[in-house]
Amino acid sequence: MVRVGILGPLEVRDGDRPVDVAGARLRALLIRLALDPGRPVSVPALAEALWGDEPPTDTANAVQTLVSRLRRAAPGLGVRSSPAGYRLDLAPDDVDAGRFERLTRQGRAALRDGDAATARTTLRDALALWRGPALAEVTDAPYAGAAVARLAELRLTAQEDRIEAELRTGRPELIVAELEELTAAHPLRERLAELHLRTLAAAG
């Protein structure tokens, strides 16, 4: 099973074996496709992601050449072509960002249902998928800003949910230092401030 990681530097694994995808532009192509696994990304959108405001004269051929190189570098990925563009033949769960989103939804649902222990475990698993900033290698790309901001917000919300679950399951003293760091980094975040006060009170 091939899996792709974009929550940090690009990572590709075929089972337990790492797959080397060399070259900044080839890696950028895979990152852009991995943002929408299973869905076609148009050639103009790929060209913009790869070359910005200075695309090559024949963008269709240039993109096709890069896709061919990607297929050779990682044949298990299954990059498919269609009239709508190119798509990565992976399920959302095969990309760490998709897996993270699924786990955060499950964790939040468990928290809402009063199962704090399950929420804590699930949200810990979700947050453990992060290896650095999302889309770390393409943060300057025009398309990346919105995706990076959205994922960063989801990560912070997941941290809040996990802290809420930790607080409900006891041992508040274990999360005081983490909350102090988070509230310092996000001083206007009301929920973090509330969690911080509740944790300090619970910890005595």
User: CATH number of the domain at 96-202, please?
Assistant: 1.25.40.10
**Between 2.60.40.730, 1.20.58.340, 1.10.10.10, 3.30.160.40, what CATH number should domain 2-93 receive?**
1.10.10.10
Parallel/antiparallel/unpaired status of strands 79-82 and 17-18: unpaired
Are residues 72 and 56 in contact, defined by beta-carbon separation less than 8 angstroms? no
Name the residue type at position 41.
Answer: V
pLDDT of residue 204: 78
Backbone angles phi, psi at 82, to 5 degrees: -155, 170
Q: What's the token pair of residue 84?
A: 């709508």
Domain chopping of the chain, boundaries: 2-93, 96-202
Gap between the Cα atoms of 80 and 71, Å rounded: 9
Helices (H), 9-143: 24-34, 43-51, 59-73, 96-112, 116-127
Q: pLDDT 10s digit of each residue in the chain, 204 long?
A: 899 999 999 999 998 899 999 999 999 999 999 999 999 999 999 999 999 888 888 999 999 999 999 999 988 888 999 999 999 999 999 999 999 999 999 999 999 999 999 999 999 999 999 999 999 999 988 889 999 999 999 999 999 999 999 999 988 888 999 999 999 999 999 999 999 999 999 887
Backbone angles phi, psi at 39, to 5 degrees: -120, 140
Q: What's the token pair of residue 22?
A: 């060399």
Q: Sign of torsion, CA 124 127 125 154?
A: positive
